[in-house]
Amino acid sequence: MKVDVYTAPLSDEGKEILRDRDAALDLLYKLLNDAQHGPFEVKAGARTFQVSSSVPDEVT
Amino acid sequence: MNFALPAITLLLILLPGILAVQGFLGKIGRKTSDPVGQTGITWALLAALLVAPVIHLALSATLVWLHLAWPPDLHAIFVLLSGDFADKADFARTIDTVIGAPWRVTLYFLLAAFVGLVVGRLVQLLVRATKLDRRVGSLHFGNDWHYLFSGEIDSDRRRPDAVVVAATVEHAGQVYLYVGYLRDYAVDRDGELKRLHMNSVVRRRIGDDREPGQVQHIPDRSGRFYPITGDELVIIFRDIRTLNVRYLYFRPK
């Protein structure tokens, strides 16, 4: 049967983190380790990102 | 030879409505095969029946107002739709109407079909921009996976910067937990999820749960999770038992 392929949301910041596999895995392990919504800090290349898995207003 | 002229005429008249509905539904739209009761009519066809006359009325009125066309010959249209060509004079008049202006008739139907498609698409953009599809149940599009994976499960949530999916998958008699970043997903025409395409994926056996007090070290030193080498992991949905979705929001520091 024919299928439609959709692209999941991925912002420029998300692409930057995913390009750095170590940073992407580092973030995954932080998410797996913590049942909370964050925020976490992740370094991808020369930049540092604050990551939350809650709604943005809760990012502190 | 029988050309089924009434059926062809009806299709041409309904075409703008059909295209408007398809333009509105788009890829994320409602399944067009959903039937209306036991009538054999689908919701898409019912909507097309209602929308097509509105498009014709608006378009023909505009064209007449701009002096680009004559008022439509409704008599000729009804003769063609009725399929009753016993009255030769009536039939001759109808044929003359069509043959007398073949380019105008052809261009009109092409224009009407295009307008239908554009109007449908614009209405979809309006509904999506105003998030009406997330607030009003009857405007909710049929692809639930789109809402789930786009973080549109409620009207307040903004689009996430990335989506992390955790899926339990059974193979070789074992159940594994795969966790990774969702890049693409495939949905068939029945609205069923078929595949997940993921990047930077780690996995562990589901039995290797964390012990009480055990910390998930970074990087993982316990050996529970290990990264999958490769650029993209494809998981076939029929092998998935459960699915957990986590939306991520990034802010540069």
- pLDDT, tens digit (0-9, with 9 covering 90-100), for B44-90: 788 889 999 999 999 999 999 998 888 888 888 888 888 888 888 88
pLDDT tens for residues A11-60? 999 999 988 988 898 888 888 776 566 688 888 888 898 888 765 444 33
Q: Which residue of A has its CA nearest to B164?
A: A28
Q: What is the mean pLDDT of chain B?
A: 85
Q: Among B27, B216, B250, whose Cβ lies nearest the Cβ of A11?
A: B250
Do B164 and B180 meet the contact criterion of CB atoms below 8 Å apart? yes
> What are A's interface residues with B at a Cβ cutoff of 8 A?
1-11, 13-14, 17-18, 21, 24-33, 41, 47-56, 59
Q: How many angstroms separate the CA atoms of B87 and B79, rounded?
A: 10
Q: How confident is the model at residue B213 (pLDDT cuts 50, 70, 90)?
A: low
Q: Please check the confidence at residue B33 and state whether its pLDDT lies above 70.
A: no
Segment of B13-17, B91-95, B206-210 carrying the highest mean pLDDT: B13-17
Nearest chain B Cα distance for residue A46, angstroms: 11
> Which residue type occupies B115?
V
Stronger pLDDT, B212 or B101, i.e. the higher one: B101
pLDDT tens for residues B133-156? 888 888 888 888 999 999 888 777
Class of residue B213 by CB neighbours under 10 A (exposed 0-12, middle 13-18, buried 19+) = exposed
Tokens 């105008």, located at residue: B104
Please tell me what DSSP assigns to residue B154. Answer: S
Mutate to test the interface with B, among A28, A36, A40, A59 (most CBs of B within 10 A): A28
Query: Could you count the other beta carbons within 10 Å of the beta carbon of residue A26?
Result: 20
Q: Which residue of A has its CA nearest to B230?
A: A21
Do B177 and B204 meet the contact criterion of CB atoms below 8 Å apart? yes
- Dmax (CA) of chain A: 46
Q: How many angstroms separate the CA atoms of A25 and B181, rounded?
A: 10
Two tokens, residue B195: 């595949």
Range with the poorest average pLDDT among B63-67, B127-131, B162-166, B221-225:
B221-225
Beta carbon pairs, A and B, within 8 Å: 140
Tokens 């016993």, located at residue: B86
Nearest chain B Cα distance for residue A14, angstroms: 6
**Closest of B1, B227, B34 to residue A22, by C-alpha:** B227
Mutate to test the interface with A, among B144, B164, B249 (most CBs of A within 10 A): B249
Per-residue pLDDT, B236: 92
**Closest of A49, A48, A44 to residue A20, by C-alpha:** A44
Nearest chain A Cα distance for residue B200, angstroms: 6
With pLDDT > 70 as the criterion, what percentage of chain B qualifies? 88
Q: Which residue of B has its CA nearest to A11?
A: B161
- Alpha-helical (H) ranges within B130-232 are 132-135, 144-149
Q: How many angstroms separate the Cα of B10 from the Cα of each of B4, B46, B49, B77, B78?
A: 10, 14, 10, 9, 10
- Parallel/antiparallel/unpaired status of strands B174-188 and B193-205: antiparallel
Q: Among A7, A25, A56, whose Cβ lies nearest the Cβ of B200?
A: A25
Q: Do B188 and A7 touch (CB under 8 A)?
A: no
pLDDT tens for residues B153-190? 877 788 899 999 999 998 878 889 999 999 999 998 77
Q: How many angstroms separate the Cα of B207 from the Cα of each of B42, B155, B211, B244?
A: 47, 37, 11, 17
B155 lies within 8 A of chain A by CB? no
Q: How many angstroms separate the CA atoms of B68 and B13, rounded?
A: 19
Which residues of chain A does B253 touch, with a Cβ-Cβ cutoff of 8 Å? Answer: 41, 47-50
ipTM surpassing 0.90, yes or no? no
Two tokens, residue B217: 């070290």
Per-residue pLDDT, A34: 64
Q: Do B181 and A24 touch (CB under 8 A)?
A: yes
Tokens 């997903």, located at residue: B185
Q: How many angstroms separate the CA atoms of A5 and B170, rounded?
A: 24
Two tokens, residue B158: 């903004």
Q: Do A8 and B145 touch (CB under 8 A)?
A: no
What is the three-class DSSP state of B162?
A: strand
pTM above 0.80, yes or no: no
Per-residue pLDDT, B40: 59
Nearest chain A Cα distance for residue B241, angstroms: 19
Do B202 and B224 meet the contact criterion of CB atoms below 8 Å apart? no
